[in-house]
């Protein structure tokens, strides 16, 4: 009997969660999609979890009711030590928010807050977003250089979501400081995040009491009114809702603007095409450009934690009860089985059902606001600072550590200084 040919061995799996991986995770994700699309790995926190990397499997997992968002379904000791989820939220009693609950509570709370993010409501907020955008750019436009993350992409969504929540202007810089602590320490010592969360929780409790006595036309006042009219919203739920809208709402937009501008600066032909379209006052290419930037190098690398509540199969792999599942949005959105030329940036891409904002009942409720902020930020930067360019060396860029979000620590840029008559 003739010898059987030896099976061709798989190439070695690429290392995950290193600094090199953080700079460019896409080759590793391509390997996983091809060779181990549902892959069990040990995360930097020590928690074992499944990574789902193919588009079809990702959509299935994001919509599967057997995958709970409630960390109570995690069967590991790690759950009790707070190693899944947002650091500090358990100690601050902020667990009852949209990212951690399932129906029917999720349905009830989402219905209450969804009124703040309807297309009509967000459209009415557009002048305020544009005002914030212009004010922040004016803060550095005459200088000829800036750190686009800390001077623009970071404060813009902070101030916008504070306005929506009803945080008084004199308190908004405190929120900016707390949010900064959460970003700076997101991949390092968790104590910094926990301290920021605790301070934010104390402030929100006080603000809820003030709004109950003197309600306004803001989101927190709306939540209080709903609670007073029989919707049964506890103070903890109201505080947790405000917290997660800030936490999830600001960092997503920071990364959308930062990653998006860095991508445009690395694709001069695509950038020039968008710039000319914006100059002519057109909207179509700007709209598709933001969607493509969300797909190509989006702000959320992995969807937030899910936990199997019943035996299930994803991509032919059996997932035991209690196991955490992390859907890798960044991998799914470059799956060649769904997107033509997935590693090519095409700002005019039409067939683009990316998963940048998730899928299913946990689809990002703030997506309309993030899109508005992203469009305003990119269009205004390209218009007011038309020759803006990256001012550093790619090898010197640092991506923030952490598991869920993907974003730059800083983005140095240079441009021709704007004259005093050039600002809006």
pLDDT tens digits for range 239-249? 777 777 776 67
Percent of the chain with pLDDT over 90: 52
pLDDT category at 104 given cuts 50, 70, 90 is low
| Residue 217, pLDDT above cutoff 90 | no
**For the chain, what's the residue count?**
424
Interacting residues of 130 by C-beta distance below 8 A, sequence separation 6+: 376, 380
pLDDT category at 288 given cuts 50, 70, 90 is very high
| CB atoms near residue 48 (< 10 Å) | 13
Q: Which residue has the higher pLDDT, 78 or 134?
A: 134
pLDDT of residue 54: 98
pLDDT of residue 90: 47
Q: What are phi and psi of 200, to 5 degrees?
A: -65, -40
Mean pLDDT of 11-39: 92
pLDDT of residue 205: 83
pLDDT of residue 410: 94
| Residue 422, pLDDT above cutoff 50 | no
| Residue 419, pLDDT above cutoff 50 | yes
Digit-coded pLDDT (tens) for 311-354: 999 999 999 998 999 999 999 999 999 999 999 999 999 999 99
Q: Lowest mean pLDDT: which of 175-179, 193-197, 335-339?
A: 193-197
- Helices marked H in 235-283: 235-265, 268-279
Strand partners, 405: 300
| Residue 112, pLDDT above cutoff 80 | no
Around 112, how many Cα atoms within 13 Å sit in the side-chain half-sphere?
29
pLDDT category at 114 given cuts 50, 70, 90 is confident
pLDDT category at 16 given cuts 50, 70, 90 is very high
Distance CA 332, CA 342 (A): 10
Distance CA 140, CA 172 (A): 20
pLDDT category at 291 given cuts 50, 70, 90 is very high
Digit-coded pLDDT (tens) for 150-166: 999 999 999 998 888 88
- ω before 104 within 30° of 0 (cis)? yes
pLDDT of residue 259: 97
Q: Are 304 and 296 in contact (CB under 8 A)?
A: no
pLDDT of residue 255: 94
| Average pLDDT over all residues of the chain | 84
Q: Are 53 and 331 in contact (CB under 8 A)?
A: yes
| CB atoms near residue 168 (< 10 Å) | 11
pLDDT of residue 190: 46
Q: What is the DSSP string of 171-224?
A: GHHHHHHHHHHHHHTTTS-HHHHHHHHHHHHHHHHHHHHHHHHS--SSHHHHHH
| Residue 188, pLDDT above cutoff 50 | no
| Residue 45, pLDDT above cutoff 50 | yes
């Amino acid at each position: 009997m003739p010898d059987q040919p030896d099976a061709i061995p798989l190439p070695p799996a690429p290392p995950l969660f290193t600094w090199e991986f953080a700079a460019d995770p896409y080759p590793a994700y391509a390997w996983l999609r091809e060779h181990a699309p549902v892959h069990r790995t040990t995360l930097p926190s020590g928690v074992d979890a499944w990574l789902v990397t193919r588009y079809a499997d990702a959509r299935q997992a994001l919509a599967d009711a057997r995958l709970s968002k409630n960390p109570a379904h995690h069967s590991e000791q790690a759950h009790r030590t707070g190693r899944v989820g947002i650091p500090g939220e358990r100690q601050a009693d902020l667990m009852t928010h949209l990212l951690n609950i399932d129906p029917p509570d999720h349905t009830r709370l989402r219905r209450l807050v969804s009124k703040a993010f309807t297309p009509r409501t967000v459209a009415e907020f557009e002048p305020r977003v544009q005002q914030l955008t212009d004010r922040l750019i004016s803060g550095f436009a005459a200088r000829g250089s800036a750190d686009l993350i800390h001077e623009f992409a970071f404060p813009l969504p902070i101030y916008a979501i504070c306005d929506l929540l009803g945080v008084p202007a004199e308190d908004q810089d405190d929120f900016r400081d707390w949010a900064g602590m959460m970003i700076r320490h997101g991949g390092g010592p968790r104590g910094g995040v926990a301290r920021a969360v605790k301070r934010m929780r104390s402030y929100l409790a006080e603000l809820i009491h003030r709004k109950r006595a003197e309600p306004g036309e803001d989101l927190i006042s709306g939540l209080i009114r709903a609670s007073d009219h029989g919707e049964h919203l506890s103070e903890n739920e109201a505080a947790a809702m405000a917290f997660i809208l800030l936490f999830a709402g600001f960092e997503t937009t920071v990364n959308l603007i930062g990653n998006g501008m860095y991508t445009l600066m690395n694709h001069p032909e695509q950038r020039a095409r968008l710039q000319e379209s914006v100059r002519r006052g057109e909207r179509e290419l700007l709209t598709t450009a933001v969607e493509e930037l969300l797909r190509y190098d989006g702000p959320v690398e992995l969807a937030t934690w899910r936990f199997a509540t019943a035996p299930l199969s994803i991509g032919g792999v059996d997932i035991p009860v209690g196991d955490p599942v992390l859907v890798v949005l960044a991998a799914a959105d470059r799956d060649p089985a769904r997107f033509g030329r997935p590693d090519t940036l095409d700002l005019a891409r039409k067939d683009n059902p990316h998963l940048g904002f998730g899928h299913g009942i946990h689809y990002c409720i703030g997506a309309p606001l993030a899109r508005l902020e992203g469009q305003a930020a990119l269009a205004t930067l390209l218009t007011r600072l038309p020759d803006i360019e990256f001012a550093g060396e790619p090898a010197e860029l640092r991506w923030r550590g952490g598991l869920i979000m993907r974003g730059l620590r800083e983005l140095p840029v240079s441009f021709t200084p704007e004259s005093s008559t050039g600002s809006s």
